[in-house]
Amino acid sequence: MPSRSAAGVRTGVRVVVAGDRGTGKSSLISAAASDAFPEYVPAVLPPTRLPSDFYPDGVPVTIVDTSSSMESRIKLIDGLKRADAVVLTYACDQPMTLSRLSSFWLPELRKLEIKAPVIVVGCKLDLRDERQPMNLEQVMAPIMQQFREIETCIECSSATLIQVPDVFYYAQKAVLHPTAPLFDQEKQTLKPRCIRALKRIFMLCDHDMDGALSDAELNEFQVKCFNAPLQPAEIVGVKRVVQERIRGGVSDLGLTLEGFLFLHALFIEKGRLETTWAVLRKFGYNDELKLRDDILPVPTKHAPDQTVELTNEAIDFLRGIFRLYDSDNDGSLQPSEFDDIFVTAPESPWTVDPYVDAAERTPQGNLTINGFLSEWALMTTLDPSYCLANLICIGYGGDPTSALRVTRRRSVDRKKKQTEKNVFHCFVFGPKKSGKSALLNSFIGRTFSSNYTPTNDVRYVANAVEQIGGSQKTLILQEIPEDGVKKLLSNKECLAACDVAVFLYDSSDEYSWKRSRELLLDVARRGEESGYGVPCLLIAAKDDLDPFPMSLQNSARVTQQLGMEAPIPVGVKLRDSKSVFSRIVSAAEHPHLSIPETEKGKKRKRYRRLVNSSLMFVSVTVGAAVAVVGLAAYRAYAARKNT
């Protein structure tokens, strides 16, 4: 049974109990479930369930007992990998079992890459030798310093029922209200993603945007998160605590952001993580401090050849954001300025691949409005959910359903001989050293470099392209490494999202031309087999070099045979590639043209026409025959009637 609902809410917690043999695992589980010390306990208990009303959070707990024998190792590993939390036991009357935690069990959990929080439990507290008292905090401090995955340490006695229920309460709490996403234990500070989430919440609650939460705003926040108002004396008390501990936490206007963050750090330090988590979850965050999927109404694509685009409403919002953060009004955003835009998002999305070098920038490294909007268009194409989450995090106040739209199917566009799309996705194929990377670099204004660096991974760039008549479209170029073509084409739907494909070859190299032709034919065949044929263009790159003999004649013959446009000569080094991008967009805007047809495809097409015409002939013949028979029957009926 899944441990989460569709909204990402926990519906159950699975706790696995592990440790050396004889440390009291089974007795601990039995005592917790029955509230009594068992006289007889089997070697390994079956899974035990504590009902939802057992603890205040109202979430049932399933406890899984394990055996430490070598024969049961595979079962133990499987159980640990499925655990939401792990309880590691040692026996208080057997010091060796305590040392085994750091010498075997905790390293073993790391080796198995178990990410679940760990609760260390000392069982058989009633059997400890009173002549050898032990300070649990002193003993466990160095172990917890070494193994940060340890959430809590506790000692208990199943025989006397001392702190037995607390063991699984702490285990449940570690899962429902985890420390790791919120707090850095080593630095004793809130983690960056937690600060970003709390800052967004603060800004949403600061309705008058004066940089502080007034008493009324603080009270409204309290009611929203905890369904109970704060009394005036409680508000005064909260402010006093903040004022005493942190300078600038309270202003004349109310509780500042600094004070708001301090309060949550204080809650966490005092073990009241459920308070901060209640706030975060009320505002839509999951355990990774990202907005939950259930509050991201991403429109559903019903077919593989549909894509998602930003609506005009969302684009207008982004233009406003650009103007707002362009503080020096120079028409571009400095890196610090566009980082500020995402200060309330989990992270700045454009600092990592595939976005980090995907848009045009000024020589100073700034983003123009075209580069800014192109990054958003790329994010929407690749990950609509991620795009919508970022839009909401940076302050999109409209209905989330109005931010994105699903485009019409490309197959329908082909039939109608036009498209309504504003963003086109282009696959760039070609052999090594054909000039793919140089073409992509020129598209985003990068200067040509003669140093050859092979592209091993898929790379994207995006930019706006001005068309004749003043219309502007966004073009996304996706470079497909030669070594990755086979894997790409193994997917039947690989071309579904592609609006146009271009094939580069080095016009001065005969092998480059032959290899590019092979790639073109492979893609054409895949398009015919899958039904997702795409317009294709052939680009003769490095046109500034001397072409190999017969290059123009051979390439012209191939494109004519396939029903494509003649090859487009491009010399990226001479910076004359600008017009080619307009040609690519034009091909995408006319989705019924420039789709290559192989001989096999032409034969299949002729066969379908023959079959259709035959069926039509049969249909007409049968219809005529039925009409003749009907006329004869009517005449016979009329003659009989007259007689």
DSSP string, 238-291: HHHHHHHH-TTSEETTEEEHHHHHHHHHHHHHTT-HHHHHHHHHHTTB-TTSSB
What is the Cα–Cα distance from 168 to 178, expressed in whole angstroms? 14
Percent of the chain predicted with pLDDT > 70: 90
Do 198 and 189 touch, CB atoms closer than 8 A?
no
CA distances (Å), origin 429, targets 356, 424, 476, 517, 537: 22, 16, 14, 10, 10
**Quick one: pLDDT at residue 453?**
72
Q: Which two tokens stand for residue 24?
A: 């009291």
**Quick one: pLDDT at residue 1?**
45
Which amino acid appears at position 364 of this protein? Q
**Quick one: pLDDT at residue 427?**
97
pLDDT band (50, 70, 90) for residue 638: low
CATH topology of domain 13-176: Rossmann fold (3.40.50)
Is the pLDDT at 468 greater than 90, yes or no? no
What is the Cα–Cα distance from 629 to 174, expressed in whole angstroms? 84
CA distances (Å), origin 177, targets 81, 114, 182, 268: 20, 18, 9, 10
Dihedrals phi, psi of 267, to nearest 5 degrees: -55, -45
pLDDT, average across residues 179-184: 92
Do 441 and 339 touch, CB atoms closer than 8 A?
no
**Quick one: pLDDT at residue 65?**
96
**Quick one: pLDDT at residue 455?**
72
pLDDT band (50, 70, 90) for residue 459: very high
63-93 residues labelled b (16+ CB within 10 A) or e (exposed): bbbbbbeeeeeeebeebbeebbbbbbbbbbb
Is the pLDDT at 643 greater than 50, yes or no? no
Q: Which CATH superfamily is domain 189-289 in?
A: EF-hand (1.10.238.10)
pLDDT tens digits for 569-610?
Answer: 887 664 556 689 999 999 999 999 889 988 886 676 665 665
Domain boundaries defined on the chain: 13-176, 189-289, 309-407, 411-597, 609-642
Is the pLDDT at 111 greater than 90, yes or no? yes
| CATH topology match: 309-407 vs 411-597 | no
Q: Between 3.20.20.140, 1.10.10.10, 1.10.40.30, 3.40.50.300, what CATH number should domain 411-597 receive?
A: 3.40.50.300
**Which of these ranges, 13-17, 347-351, 606-610, has the smallest mean pLDDT?**
606-610
Mean pLDDT, the chain, as a whole number?
88
Nearest Cα to 478, choosing from 491, 486, 468, 488? Answer: 488
First and final C-alpha spacing in the chain: 82
Q: Which two tokens stand for residue 273?
A: 């993580």
pLDDT tens digits for 18-53?
Answer: 999 999 999 999 999 999 998 888 889 999 999 999
What is the Cα–Cα distance from 461 to 374, expressed in whole angstroms? 9
Is the pLDDT at 2 greater than 60, yes or no? no
Which one is predicted more confidently, 543 or 63? Answer: 63
Dihedrals phi, psi of 367, to nearest 5 degrees: -100, 125
What is the Cα–Cα distance from 220 to 228, expressed in whole angstroms? 9
Burial class (CB within 10 angstroms; exposed 0-12, middle 13-18, buried 19+) of 417: exposed
362-380 residues labelled b (16+ CB within 10 A) or e (exposed): eeeebbbbbbbbbbbbbbb
DSSP conformation class of 226: H
What is the Cα–Cα distance from 465 to 220, expressed in whole angstroms? 48
Q: Which two tokens stand for residue 425?
A: 């996705």
What is the Cα–Cα distance from 418 to 414, expressed in whole angstroms? 7
Q: Using DSSP bridges, classify how beta strands 183-184 and 189-190 pair: parallel, antiparallel or unpaired.
A: antiparallel
Percent of the chain predicted with pLDDT > 90: 67
Half-sphere exposure of 376 (CA within 13 A, CB side): 29
Dihedrals phi, psi of 119, to nearest 5 degrees: -110, 120
pLDDT, average across residues 541-551: 72
pLDDT, average across residues 526-548: 86
Q: Which two tokens stand for residue 23?
A: 């440390």
Do 542 and 439 touch, CB atoms closer than 8 A?
no
pLDDT tens digits for 376-399?
Answer: 999 999 999 999 999 999 999 889
pLDDT, average across residues 120-131: 90
Burial class (CB within 10 angstroms; exposed 0-12, middle 13-18, buried 19+) of 34: exposed
Half-sphere exposure of 324 (CA within 13 A, CB side): 11
CATH topology of domain 309-407: Recoverin; domain 1 (1.10.238)
Element (H, E) at 465: strand 459-466
Which amino acid appears at position 6 of this protein? A
Nearest Cα to 163, choosing from 206, 128, 125, 135? Answer: 125
Q: Which two tokens stand for residue 206?
A: 């600061």
